[in-house]
Structure 1
Amino acid sequence: MKKKVAFYTIGCKLNYAETSTIARKFSDLNYEHVSFNGFADIYVINSCSVTKNAETEFKCIVRYAMRKNEKAFVIAIGCYAQLYPKEVSEIIGVDLVLGYEEKFHIIDYLNQINFSKKNSPAKILFSKETCSYSYFSSYSIGYRTRSFLKIQDGCDYKCSYCVIPIARGPSRSESIETILKNIKYLLKKGVKEIVLTGINIGDYGKKIFHKNERRTYTFFDLIQEINQIKEIEMGRIRLSSIEPNLLKNECIEFLSKSKHFVPHFHIPFQSGSNYILGKMQRRYRKELYQEKVKTIRHLIPNAYIGSDVIVGFPGETHRYFLETYHFMKKLDISSFHIFTYSHRPNTKSYYNTQQGDHVSKKIQKKRNKILRILSKRKYRFFCEKQIHTKKTVLFEKNSNNEYLYGYTENYIRTKISFIPTFINTLQDVILKEIDEKDGIMIAQSIHEMNST
């Protein structure tokens, strides 16, 4: 009988791309893919370590898997497993911990291990240095209407709060040849939206892993090449997060004229105080960020501009928080994610926290709430400006037979009356109003309007 295997992903889009790639390694073998919510013989959990909450979530997911099958073989992969393999191996229920390189050879290790019995503590297969030079192509397919395509991995930046450079090594890139090949393949497989993802995609071009590559490329070179793909008429391309100092004006101008890249930017900010940005070791000041937003708004007025902000960073006094609040209030962005600072061992900010330069959890929570309210107001204002305009929505498969849900090209969550033939298709709609119950934009299909 086939062994049943289930997968669970915590964290970023890059993790989803890698989970899907790893899952496909099981497809042609003696394994049956099943939902993580059901019984499985093997549970593979792709972990995250950006925050302490992500590590806590991992432990909860392990317990959840054990409740489904107490004899199941649990495999830990991802950044948490890479950074703290011994700690992860001691979590009750975990049987195997694979490092960055090892997770991509998971089948080889399973063939060598008796996974019919539990291991306590878990077996660790881990080569810490390999992530400094290895690169593994990855993309997601099959689970969603969109695909996350990995174009870059690792990071050369040394932000004082971040463990990702330690977990994933230095910046390195996929070859343009392979990226174009993967995009064509995904489009032919029926994927309607491809999200270019990585740890620091604006840094694309460093250490390209392809024997035929003889020149240095930039992110600007890449998007120009992608824009020329013939098959791209079948779908659309979206960018994931890109650093403000790496989002060059020539890129913004090019994207403003592209029919294939959607008007959506996610530009991490982190703080509206130049003093705090300095302590974070970010590579820009708030004036540069403001300039990027103004450039986008000038060239692409209806673009969605999202961001990230960290509250409670060590040394963030009330004055510095107010600088952030007032700066974000004036900034013409669409919404932003708020992260409460989480001190990570082996980072520079962690040692500052240990020295007493910390913000209490009570104040962190209060500041988080204040910014969440501001973000919701901004998103509402952004959506209201789009009412009565024509947009294109990629509708997703769901279990609700009353509505279909999807996102416009400029990232507005939208719903229409259920039309089964619209699932996994791009449809032109007119945005009508915001549903006060869930905050989702109600739209009407142009096709439906024309037929009536």
Structure 2
Amino acid sequence: MLQFSITTLGCKVNQYESRSVATKLTRLGLKEANSSEKADLLVINTCCITTTAMRKSRHAIRRAIKRSPDAFVFVMGCYSDYDQQKILQLINDAGIETHHVRIAAHHGNPAAQLDQIISEVQKDPDALGESVISVQQVGNIRCGNNVAGESLQSKETSISTDIKDNRLRTIKDKIPGTQLFGTVDKFKKRQRAFVKIQDGCDAFCSYCIVPFMRPRVWSRTVEDILGECETLVAAGHREIVLCGVFLGAFSRETALRNKWQDEPSALPGLIRAVADIKGLWRVRLSSLEPGDVTDELLDIFANCPTVAPHLHLPLQSGSDEILKRMNRQYSVDDFRRTVKAIRSVIDRPAITTDIIVGFPGESDEDFAATCDLARFAGFSKIHAFPFSPIQPTAAWAWRSEIPPANMVRDRRKTLATIEAELAGAYRSQFVGETLEAIVESPSASGSMRKAMTDRYMTIEFNDSGTNDLTGKIVHFKITQTNESSLLGTLE
């Protein structure tokens, strides 16, 4: 039996799309290889949200090929749009011939490319020849490939032009992008299932490469989403995480709020419908912005116990000046009002966030404002990461204004200290209480098991091993906390 392996980097949307590919391959008779087995088909789902993510994507490709050097290689994800030539070169350098490679760009039809690969592999996996198109041609993508005699300035101009032209072509020609990927019937070795409801973004935050890489803004139908959620719950998943590139743009044609014309959001209705699925413990939202947190949405949080009391609200900066330069669609006051509104209707909500440290022009005063707003919000978790200049985003042109590296490191340490203080205080509220949580798969090392609460807190506990608790909803008496988790005993 032919075997495949999938390596996934990046966001929940990527995780979902990888399982969509795995579901299709499994239905067609291929077997998913375990980590110690060689595969006939390698699928690497890449990310390019930061330069670190790009580096990890390249490393993942090399590592997968090293494990299965005779395999066919299928590269997908955002980095496949950003740097096709560099990907192809590193695969060739690893000894894989070009006609055994397919790089499936979002600005093409990756689902059709996957179908073609599957067809060729099933015909004769040892004779993958010139009939297989090597790379989806969506323009002269030259990122990272400095042609001899080409100046750095002309190379940068070429990169910007090519990426922007590819996106414009996608919009004009209504390229299907990820729309034709199939549904998912189970997430292997995961207790929570991701369900993508929306894709694409045209908000163009000045630091973000995603709008250039993902397809045009589109949404799945409510019927399609509910059908998939019901299938996943029937397969044993007790929690569903609704995800998208810009979740608030669900059912809309744009992520630009000033073009919504006061039309009501379809998101609250979808959440309510998913929450009503029999057998579902919790439905969680992947990420929202302040403008998405409407009275209707808060009413659902307040009155639907199946909806997890956890909101991920990326702050990015607590400075109005920096937020404006980032092209974010909210102000500091908007964020404060949203936090107040959430706390007024939800009991001890878990509010988590992302913060960019060292954005071009960020002053000491700007950073201090970010720290003040973090303390005001009382975040239960902060993901702080350094600004990463990526061409051709608007912020790429401001890279000379990035604060010194040592200053960025110090600011990240400060935020880490604030997070430890806030997260510790948040967890301490639950000592002595009984909480429900979904038990995760056992770890390969150690006797401590882990479970995840609806407020996105980890509970560590000792399991005698007499019962198989994986995937079950269990009650825990919380006895104390440690630096990252709650400690509890089974009730």
Query: Residue 124 of structure 1 is aligned with which of 135, 144, 155?
Result: 135
SS in 2 for 1:386: coil
Structure 1 match to 2:149:
none
1:407 alignment partner in structure 2: 452
Q: Extract unaligned runs of 5+ from structure 1.
A: 209-214, 447-452
Distance 2:243 2:329 in 1: 20
Letter in 2 for 1:390: T
Provide the secondary structure at the position in 1 that maps to 2:135.
strand
Residue of structure 2 in register with 1:150 after alignment: 196
2:472 to 413, 417, 425: 425
Counterpart AA for 1:396: E
Listed one character per residue, the Cα deviations across residues 204-256 of structure 1 (whole Å, up to 9, x for unaligned) are 11159xxxxxx986212222332333x1x442211111111222132112211
Residue number among 336, 357, 361 corresponding to 2:401 in the alignment: 357
Find the counterpart in structure 1 of residue 40 from structure 2.
41
- Distance across 1 between alignment mates of 2:217 and 2:27: 32
CA contact (8 A) 1:206 1:216 kept: no
CA contact (8 A) 2:350 2:380 kept: yes
C-alpha deviation, 1:11, in angstroms? 0.2
Matches within 5 A, 1:224-243: 224-229=272-277, 231=278, 233-243=279-289
- Structure 1 position 108 matched with structure 2 position 116: yes
Mean CA deviation greater in 123-132 or 5-14: 123-132
- Letter of the aligned partner of 1:23 in structure 2? A
Q: Single out whichever of 136-145 and 234-243 deviates more from structure 2.
A: 136-145
Of residues 426, 435, 442, the one that matches 2:487 is: 442
- The answer as to whether partners of 2:62 and 2:90 remain within 8 angstroms in 1 is no
Are residues 300 and 314 of structure 1, via their aligned partners in 2, closer, same or farther at CA, if it must alter by over 3 Å?
same
Deviations 1:286-313 (A, max 9, x none): 1111111111122113211101100111
Identity, in percent, stands at 25
Determine the structure 2 residue equivalent to 1:6. Answer: 5
Q: Provide the residue aligned with 1:219 in structure 2.
A: 267
Deviates more, 1:36-45 or 1:245-254: 36-45
Does 102-111 or 154-163 show the bigger shift? 102-111
In structure 2, relative to structure 1, the CA distance for the partners of 1:10 and 1:37 (3 Å cut) is farther
Corresponding position of 2:154: none
Matched position secondary structure for 1:422: coil
Partner SS, residue 283 of structure 2: strand
**CA pair 357-112 structure 1, distance change in 2 beyond 3 A:** same
User: C-alpha separation between the residues in 2 aligned to 1:357 and 1:73?
Assistant: 43
1:309 aligns with 2:355: yes
Cα 1:36–1:442, aligned 2, differ >3 Å: closer, same or farther? same
Partner of residue 296, structure 1: 342
Larger mean CA deviation between 309-318 and 101-110 belongs to 101-110
Residues 383 and 77 of structure 1: is their aligned pair in 2 closer, same or farther, counting only changes over 3 Å?
same
Letter in 1 for 2:478: L
Cα distance, 1:81 vs structure 2? 0.1
SS in 1 for 2:25: coil
Normalising to structure 1: TM-score of the pair? 0.89
Which structure 2 segments of 5+ residues have no match? 139-165, 255-262
Q: Do residues 397 (structure 1) and 441 (structure 2) align?
A: yes
Say if 2:416 is the partner of 1:372: yes
- TM-aligned CA deviation for residue 177 of structure 1: 1.0
CA offsets 1:308-365 (integer angstroms, 9 cap, x no match): 1001111112221122122212322212111211111111111122xx3222323222
Q: Name the SS of the counterpart of 1:91 in structure 2.
A: helix
Matches within 5 A, 1:192-271: 192-207=238-253, 218-229=266-277, 231=278, 233-271=279-317
- What is the total number of aligned residue pairs between the two structures? 432
- Give, as a single letter, the amino acid of the residue that structure 1 aligns with 2:479: K
Partners of 1:217 and 1:278 lie apart in 2 by 25
One of 97, 110, 121 as aligned partner of 2:103: 97
| Secondary structure of the structure 1 residue equivalent to 2:401 | coil
State the secondary structure of the residue aligned to 1:305: strand
- The Cα offsets for residues 362-393 of structure 1, whole Å up to 9 and x where unpaired, read as 32222222212211221111101111122111
User: Residues 102-122 of structure 1, C-alpha deviation per residue, up to 9 Å, x if partnerless?
Assistant: 332313234347764899xx9
Which of 351, 375, 390 is the equivalent residue of 1:344? 390
In the alignment, structure 1 residue 382 sits paired with structure 2 residue 426: yes
2:214 corresponding residue in structure 1: 168
- Out of 365, 368, 391, the residue aligned to residue 322 of structure 1 is 368
Distance between the aligned counterparts of 1:116 and 1:161, measured in 2? 44
Q: CA separation in 2, counterparts of 1:321 and 1:346?
A: 25
Q: Distance in 1 between matches of 2:349 and 2:488?
A: 19
| Residue identity in the other structure for 2:110 | K
Distance 1:234 1:358 in 2: 46
What is the alpha-carbon distance in structure 1 between the residues aligned to residue 127 and residue 360 of structure 2? 45
